[in-house]
Amino acid sequence: MSTVVVAEKPSVARDIARVLGARRKGEGFLEGNGYVVTWALGHLVQFAEPDDYGPPWKGRWAFSQLPMLPEQWQLKTGSSTYAQFRVVRKLLNDAAHDRIVCATDAGREGEHIFRLIYEQARCRKPFQRLWISSLTDQAIRQGFGQLQPGTAFNGLAQAARARAQADWLVGMNLTRAYTVHNKALCTIGRVQTPTLAMLARRDEAIANFVKSYFYELVAQLAEGFAAKYSKDGQTRIDVKEEAERLHRQLAPYKTGTVMKIEKKIVRHRPPALYDLTNLQRDANRRFGFTAAKVLEYAQTLYETHKLITYPRTESRHISEDMVGQLPGILERLEHEQAPVALERLRQGHRLSRA
């Protein structure tokens, strides 16, 4: 009897297989030492498209087809990935394998990817969950020593499924509605369209921007101290003549009186750890990297070099059980090539924005 481990992508599967001692190569899997490690290819299984349901949703788009609300959600596997799905399905249902471990990425989408494969394969065996945010050998060994029952992640799986179904309902229905209405293809998405609206509003604001000036009065005092004129908490003066009048009124005074001194201790918390969005924002601002490039680099640092934790996270915190791994991560960042790369970035070397 052996254990089937399902990873999200081949590179992660190879890392896990190496640590577990599964070194023999098969067609779509690695095996050995009581383990069979296989992989998905991203979204190996997806929700079927409206045409796949047949009439009345199949064929020419029309308002009469809407709304499309599946009573029973159907799944499908793409033709380019069907061969790998067959491999995974066979391994999951093979009686020779008495244990299943879900080793997809530790997040909502990773959970969703495995659950769709499990459902499409019609597997009924219980499974366990490997939940790790780092691909170091130590993290993998530790994770397999702390496997959790798959049912503990049912809530996460349901949240992921609800998100995917919402995407389908909004995207498929509104894309057809707007396309039929406009007589031209108009793709609508739950995230895509609000984002496009933000860009359109910003572009409109830029196009309609009217340049205006404001003025401030600043008095240069002793020891490099500067005092800024304010009224009702506002330092800006919109009318040039008013600024000049105040300047003439205040200029004769060569001395001033300190009316009040306030001293207070301010504590600033250190910044939270990066999530993907904040990492992409800062990398674009500092180095000019596109969001896609930042994700590509982060995935490489995570999967290949084991220098960072799982990058596609929405959280800016780490769990207590990861604290012990931080010294090792920091030590790897002191590798002789890391300071060189950092210095080149500080000097303004940028990669292409394309």
Count other C-beta atoms under 10 Å from residue 265's C-beta.
4
Q: Would you give the end-to-end CA distance of the chain in angstroms?
A: 50
What digits encode the pLDDT tens for the residues 57-99?
Answer: 999 999 999 999 999 999 999 889 999 999 999 999 999 999 9
Q: Which pLDDT belongs to residue 23?
A: 95
Q: Which pLDDT belongs to residue 353?
A: 38
The answer to whether residue 259 sits within a structural domain is yes
What digits encode the pLDDT tens for the residues 11-42?
Answer: 999 999 999 999 999 999 999 999 999 999 98
Q: Which pLDDT belongs to residue 46?
A: 96
Return the exposure string of 214-231: e unless at least 16 CB atoms fall within 10 Å of the residue's CB, then b. ebebeeeeeeeeeeebee
What digits encode the pLDDT tens for the residues 164-204?
Answer: 999 999 999 999 999 999 999 999 999 999 999 999 999 99
pLDDT tier for residue 316 given thresholds of 50, 70 and 90: confident
The answer to whether residue 189 sits within a structural domain is no
What digits encode the pLDDT tens for the residues 215-266?
Answer: 999 988 777 778 888 888 899 999 999 999 999 998 888 777 878 888 999 9
> Which CATH number belongs to the domain containing residue 53 in this structure?
3.40.50.140
The answer to whether residue 196 sits within a structural domain is no
The answer to whether residue 198 sits within a structural domain is no
Q: Are residues 342 and 235 in the same domain?
A: no
Main-chain phi, psi angles of 120, to 5 degrees: -65, -30
- Helices within the chain (DSSP H only): 10-20, 82-93, 108-120, 137-144, 154-182, 192-207, 240-250, 276-287, 291-303, 326-332, 337-346
Averaged pLDDT, 346-352 = 54
Model confidence at 350: pLDDT above 60: no
Model confidence at 352: pLDDT above 50: no
Q: Are residues 24 and 95 in the same domain?
A: yes
Q: Are residues 13 and 123 in the same domain?
A: yes
Q: Are residues 337 and 316 in the same domain?
A: yes
Model confidence at 341: pLDDT above 80: no
| Contact (Cβ atoms closer than 8 angstroms) between residue 186 and residue 68 | no
Q: Are residues 125 and 222 in the same domain?
A: no
Model confidence at 159: pLDDT above 80: yes
- Helices within 124-153 (DSSP H only): 137-144
The answer to whether residue 303 sits within a structural domain is yes
Query: Domain containing 321: what range?
Result: 276-346
Q: Are residues 63 and 109 in the same domain?
A: yes
Q: Which pLDDT belongs to residue 313?
A: 81
Q: Which pLDDT belongs to residue 351?
A: 44
Q: Which pLDDT belongs to residue 337?
A: 60
Q: Based on the number of CB atoms within 10 Å of its own CB, is 332 exposed (0-12), middle (13-18) or buried (19 or more)?
A: middle
Q: Are residues 66 and 22 in the same domain?
A: yes
Q: Which pLDDT belongs to residue 354?
A: 34
Task: Please report the DSSP string for 299-332 in residue order.
Answer: HHHHHTS--S--TT-S-S---GGGGGGHHHHHHH
Q: Are residues 145 and 27 in the same domain?
A: yes
Q: How many whole angstroms separate alpha carbon 135 and alpha carbon 299?
A: 11
Confirm whether pTM is higher than 0.85: no
Q: Are residues 301 and 250 in the same domain?
A: no
The answer to whether residue 12 sits within a structural domain is yes
Model confidence at 56: pLDDT above 60: yes
The answer to whether residue 33 sits within a structural domain is yes
The answer to whether residue 181 sits within a structural domain is no
Q: How many whole angstroms separate alpha carbon 325 and alpha carbon 140?
A: 12
What digits encode the pLDDT tens for the residues 170-180?
Answer: 999 999 999 99
What is the chain's Cα-based Rg?
29
Q: Are residues 10 and 140 in the same domain?
A: yes
122, 140, 160 - which closes a domain: 160
Q: What residues act catalytically?
A: 310
Q: How many whole angstroms separate alpha carbon 300 and alpha carbon 349?
A: 20
Q: Are residues 133 and 236 in the same domain?
A: no
pLDDT tier for residue 307 given thresholds of 50, 70 and 90: confident
Number of structural domains the chain divides into: 3
Q: How many whole angstroms separate alpha carbon 287 and alpha carbon 341?
A: 12
Q: Are residues 133 and 250 in the same domain?
A: no
> Which CATH number belongs to the domain containing residue 324 in this structure?
1.10.290.10
